[in-house]
Amino acid sequence: MNLNSADAAFTALLAQNLPAGSLSETEPRHLEEPRGRWQGRAGPMVRPRTTEEVARIVTLAADARVGIIPYGGGTGLVGGQISPEGPLPLILSLERINALRDIYAQENVLICEAGCVLADIQSAAEEVDRLFPLSLASEGSARIGGNLATNAGGTAVLRYGNARDLCLGVEAVLPDGQIWHGLKRLRKDNTGYDLRNLLIGSEGTLGIITAAALKLSPRPAQSGTAFFVVPSPAAALSLLALARGQLGEMVSGFELINGQGLRFLSEVLPNVRQPFETPPEWCVLIEVGLVSGMDPASALERVFEEASAQGLALDGLIAQNAQQSKDFWSVREHIPEANKRIGAIISSDVSLPLGCIAGFITRARQLIAEVGAFRINCFGHLGDGNLHFNIFPVPGETAAQHNDKRAALQRVVHDLVHDLDGSVSAEHGIGRLKVDDLQRYGDPAKLSAMRAVKAALDPVGIMNPGALFKT
């Protein structure tokens, strides 16, 4: 692809074509990512204020053959926002393109720019008595442009879908500098190829999303939360079917939690209030959002009764008020932080056909035991078939020793996932972390179509070079 570095001549050219103050140097935070795996290189950063400025920048970069790294909230977990090598790229931060353009409450549509922080969008929806259901741990700093570029998932996918399901239209700058004005507020639009979904999840490699028309939902009249202790992951799945049988789409969240995660919490975050005195081996956190006239506690009790009668639930706690609901969710939300504090995590983000999950957990444990002794914290969005299967050293083992086994362990997990028709990246994307995995496990016809699409839309290869594909 023969890209050039974003050198002084290029930044001078940019400066000439943009308002004063658009250009700066990267700050350290732009060169780091949450997992600490990659380190970017200091260099030029541009913070345009409008979509038209983005278009101008992209056009100049295409002419100069300079790579662009689109930068949102910097919360991605696969290194898509970091350029550790190759010709120095331009970091294009969307942080100033952050207006909430319009809310159409009656239409259940909100239009905002890429730089809006996810939590702010949630709040704006709430102010007009609507719900923007995308919900994830980093929502306080993640920006919607990045959420869409990576097709973010989170805890409400079961009911409301991934980021792509919550987006009706996008405005984007394509790699040739053209602006696609695609901010449709339509539920149905069959006029040609689905470019919206092509851009969503393309991780900045096919263009820069600058604004989006987002789908809001009515807010459930009342919500309820419960912890149910289950005898096994298989039982948890049957419990999910039972709950959906009783409550249909009103089951909003269904999270599997392993005893190891609760023990880690006790160890490193003892202030997080735990639901059970003795951590059960498996439990699920259920969230329901009900229509008016239904009582959450009784609805959850009815689920528990039936589940208990079928041997699917051994114990249960139903939140009695909003504070207790919050406490329950706090347990789930602190598990990633506890993992981080335990350290030396070998993480994964896999999805499986629902029918294969229980078998996967058992078999993965066996295969990992063949490699050595480890602590495993397997948790995740069970309703979506999405597990975070994380492997930690046993006490006494050093991080360095553990790290030596990283490649082998990840191979074991990913090979098994692949054999079971699962995905080695359920919700975090490919970024730079899983470029090799994509090649190894990807369908050859799909990969060649992807390369053809990339070459067609970004022939110079300026958009996020190094993400998804080897440069």
Contacts (CB under 8 A) with a copy of itself, residues 332-361: 351-355
Distance in angstroms (rounded) separating the CA atoms of residues 3 and 14: 17
Structure tokens of 426?
A: 């359920």
72 near 9, Cβ under 8 Å? no
Nearer to a copy of itself, 197 or 324 (CB): 197
Region near a copy of itself per CB under 8 A, out of 2-10, 33-41, 284-292, 392-400: 284-292
Per DSSP, the chain holds a count of helices (H) and strands (E) of 15, 18
Does 310 contact a copy of itself by CB under 8 A? no
| Shortest distance in whole angstroms from residue 239 CB to a copy of itself | 12
Does 256 contact a copy of itself by CB under 8 A? no
Q: Which of 274, 413, 289, 340 is nearest to 137 (CA)?
A: 340
Nearer to a copy of itself, 26 or 162 (CB): 162
Nearer to a copy of itself, 342 or 356 (CB): 356
Region near a copy of itself per CB under 8 A, out of 5-13, 272-280, 319-327, 451-459: 451-459
Q: How far is CA 278 from CA 254, 260, 325, in A?
A: 21, 12, 20
Among 95, 100, 447, 471, binds a copy of itself (CB under 8 A): 447
Does 311 contact a copy of itself by CB under 8 A? no
Does 426 contact a copy of itself by CB under 8 A? yes
23 near 53, Cβ under 8 Å? no
Question: According to CB under 8 A, which residues from 132 to 171 bind a copy of itself?
Answer: 150-151, 153, 157-158, 162, 164-165
| Shortest distance in whole angstroms from residue 402 CB to a copy of itself | 26
Among 59, 223, 324, 423, binds a copy of itself (CB under 8 A): 423
Distance in angstroms (rounded) separating the CA atoms of residues 4 and 191: 38
Distance in angstroms (rounded) separating the CA atoms of residues 404 and 367: 17
H or E, element range at 208: strand 208-215
Distance in angstroms (rounded) separating the CA atoms of residues 142 and 48: 18
Does 237 contact a copy of itself by CB under 8 A? yes
Region near a copy of itself per CB under 8 A, out of 12-20, 81-89, 138-146, 429-437: 429-437
Question: According to CB under 8 A, which residues from 93 to 132 bind a copy of itself?
Answer: 104, 106-109
230 near 283, Cβ under 8 Å? yes
# binding residues, a copy of itself (CB under 8 A): 94
| Shortest distance in whole angstroms from residue 354 CB to a copy of itself | 4
Nearer to a copy of itself, 11 or 147 (CB): 147
Distance in angstroms (rounded) separating the CA atoms of residues 122 and 127: 9
Question: According to CB under 8 A, which residues from 173 to 212 bind a copy of itself?
Answer: 174, 176, 178-182, 184-195, 197-198, 200-202, 206
| Shortest distance in whole angstroms from residue 93 CB to a copy of itself | 23
Region near a copy of itself per CB under 8 A, out of 18-26, 41-49, 61-69, 244-252: 244-252
Rounded to a whole number, what is the distance in angstroms from the first to the last CA of the chain?
Answer: 7
- Coil, strand or helix at 190: coil
H or E, element range at 253: strand 251-258
Nearer to a copy of itself, 22 or 252 (CB): 252
List all residues 6 or more positions away from 3 whose beta carbon is below 8 Å from its beta carbon: 65, 66, 67, 86, 87, 89, 460, 461, 462, 465, 471
Does 429 contact a copy of itself by CB under 8 A? yes
Question: According to CB under 8 A, which residues from 362 to 401 bind a copy of itself?
Answer: 381, 383-386
Instruction: For residue 293, count CB atoms less than 10 angstroms from its CB and return exposed for 0-12, middle for 13-18, buried for 19 or more.
Output: exposed
| Shortest distance in whole angstroms from residue 212 CB to a copy of itself | 15
Does 253 contact a copy of itself by CB under 8 A? no
Nearer to a copy of itself, 139 or 458 (CB): 458
Q: What is the DSSP string of 86-131?
A: SSPPEEEE-TT---EEEEETTTTEEEEETT-BHHHHHHHHHHTTEE
Region near a copy of itself per CB under 8 A, out of 26-34, 285-293, 326-334, 362-370: 285-293
Question: According to CB under 8 A, which residues from 69 to 88 bind a copy of itself?
Answer: none
Distance in angstroms (rounded) separating the CA atoms of residues 258 and 279: 9
Residue 310 neighbours by CB distance under 10 Å:
12
**Residue written as tokens 């689905």?**
194
Query: Which residue type, as a one-letter code, is found at position 285?
Result: L
Nearer to a copy of itself, 31 or 435 (CB): 435
Among 246, 324, 330, 471, binds a copy of itself (CB under 8 A): 246
| Shortest distance in whole angstroms from residue 16 CB to a copy of itself | 25
